[in-house]
Amino acid sequence: MRVYIDSSVFGGYYDQEFATPTRAFFEAWALGKILGVLSGTLLRELEEAPEEVTDLLRQALDREHEELEVSDDATRLSQAYLRAGVLTEKYADDALHVALATVARVDVVVSWNFRHMVNPARVRAFNGVNIAWGYGVVTIMTPAEIVKILEVQDED
């Protein structure tokens, strides 16, 4: 499973509310149950993060992963999200995360960002634009949901 990881997941590793499922998610990645997909946008966002988060990122970069560069297609799609009112310009990086994942056709985007990403109304809006532009739908879930899916797969 190719999983695009946004910056909130790295912060969630150290957040008391989200730490347990986030750590289980990172463990699944370390065990090769998922393939982490990272982007230059994520790396840029985490440049000024607290040291513990940048240390976690360095560890993640040592794992098997895929890196996405910002492409013209992803930039155009993210701008289409903004023009459609899915997000405002203030949250252009969130739009770019979704666009990068959509263009790369990842299996799922993982995030703790409930306001702009893990939000059924936003996901419908992202997908409306995706379909209009000839892309497939994007699935956005929390690390807890990914971990649960992996647990169910392990039971089969």
Q: Which long-range contacts (CB under 8 A, 24 or more apart) does 16-23 make?
A: 18/112, 18/143, 21/142, 21/143, 21/144, 21/147, 22/112, 22/143
Q: Kind and range of the H or E element at 6? A: none
What are the boundaries of each domain within the chain? 2-155
Determine the pLDDT at residue 149. 94
The Cα–Cα gap between 142 and 25 comes to 10
Give this prediction's pTM: 0.94
Q: Which of the four pLDDT bands, split at 50, 70 and 90, describes residue 153?
A: confident
Question: What pLDDT digit, counting tens, does each position of 15-53 carry?
Answer: 999 999 999 999 999 999 999 999 999 999 999 999 999
How many CA atoms, within 13 angstroms, populate the side-chain half-sphere of residue 63? 19
- Fold of domain 2-155: Rossmann fold (3.40.50)
Q: What is the DSSP string of 132-151?
A: HTT-----EE-HHHHHHHHH
- Read off the pLDDT of residues 68-108 as tens digits, 9 standing for 90 and up: 999 999 999 999 999 999 999 999 999 999 999 999 999 99
C-beta neighbour count of 110 within 10 angstroms: 30
